[in-house]
């Protein structure tokens, strides 16, 4: 996450065009970090950037990129992970129940994206002023996602009693033999707040443009010293 910012700053001393080029690639760097964070063992459990990508995509990304990049990253990485689990681990991941659970996850991702779009009008232009709404939005989004996905786990897993107490167990301790689910929530809150904050302060919402490029004024001819001397 910090690498693109360092590159952009160092490149700014070479050419005024380079920072804008780096800025346009910045969402793709972010998507690459998200894809890597999903691979088992590279990050702590549930220390993921997925939530940040969906939220920040809605808050900051322009136009169709706000939908296409998060969705494309999730789809490609999910297919890769499912193939790995299917053929390397021998798990059945394409059965209807697993696909239904995945659809529930995508409903949670869509909720995060819509939350980001809803917060977009309230995000100020100043980089540091973006932090409060971005961090609060990321925390709220993780809580919503956590509630949706763990409720689906409660409905899907026969180890949970289909009672209010069983639902609460799914939200707090989880089933026996697996890490406690509250630890996943803690890691998700920390990772989402961290990466969303990093993105908010390093993202330049619009590349720098001259008034002519923005269409605010018509281009003017540059003064020609030789022509002025002839006219004199």
| Separation between Cα atoms, residue 126 and residue 199, nearest integer Å | 13
Q: Tell me: the pLDDT tens digits for 192-221?
A: 999 899 888 888 654 433 444 334 455 444
Name the residue with tokens 């630890």.
183
| Separation between Cα atoms, residue 159 and residue 174, nearest integer Å | 9
Q: Tell me: the pLDDT tens digits for 70-83?
A: 999 999 999 999 99
pTM of the entire predicted model: 0.70
The residue ranges of the chain whose pLDDT is under 70 are: 1-23, 45-46, 204-232
Residue 149 CA: distances (Å) to CA of 58, 167, 184, 206: 20, 12, 12, 35
Residue 104: what pLDDT? 83
Among 53, 81, 90, CA closest to 203: 53
Residue 222: what pLDDT? 45
| Separation between Cα atoms, residue 142 and residue 116, nearest integer Å | 12
């Amino acid at each position: 996450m910090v690498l693109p910012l360092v590159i952009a700053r160092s490149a700014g001393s070479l050419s005024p065009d380079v920072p804008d080029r780096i800025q346009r690639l910045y969402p793709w760097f972010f998507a690459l970090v998200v894809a890597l964070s999903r691979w088992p063992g590279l990050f702590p459990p549930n220390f993921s950037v997925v939530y940040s990508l969906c939220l920040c995509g809605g808050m900051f990304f322009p136009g169709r990129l706000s939908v296409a990049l998060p969705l494309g990253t999730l789809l490609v990485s999910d297919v890769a992970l499912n193939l790995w689990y299917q053929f390397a681990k021998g798990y059945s991941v394409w059965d209807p129940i697993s696909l239904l659970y995945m659809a529930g996850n995508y409903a949670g991702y869509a909720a995060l994206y819509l939350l980001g779009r809803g917060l977009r009008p309230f995000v100020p232009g100043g980089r540091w002023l973006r932090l409060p709404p971005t961090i609060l939005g990321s925390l709220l989004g993780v809580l919503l996602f956590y509630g949706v996905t763990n409720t689906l786990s409660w409905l899907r897993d026969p180890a949970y009693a289909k009672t209010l107490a069983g639902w609460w167990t799914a939200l707090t301790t989880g089933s026996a033999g697996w890490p406690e689910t509250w630890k996943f929530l803690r890691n998700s809150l920390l990772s989402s707040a961290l990466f969303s904050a990093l993105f908010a302060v390093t993202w330049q919402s619009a590349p720098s443009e001259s008034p002519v490029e923005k269409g605010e004024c018509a281009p003017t001819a540059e003064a020609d010293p030789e022509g002025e001397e002839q006219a004199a």
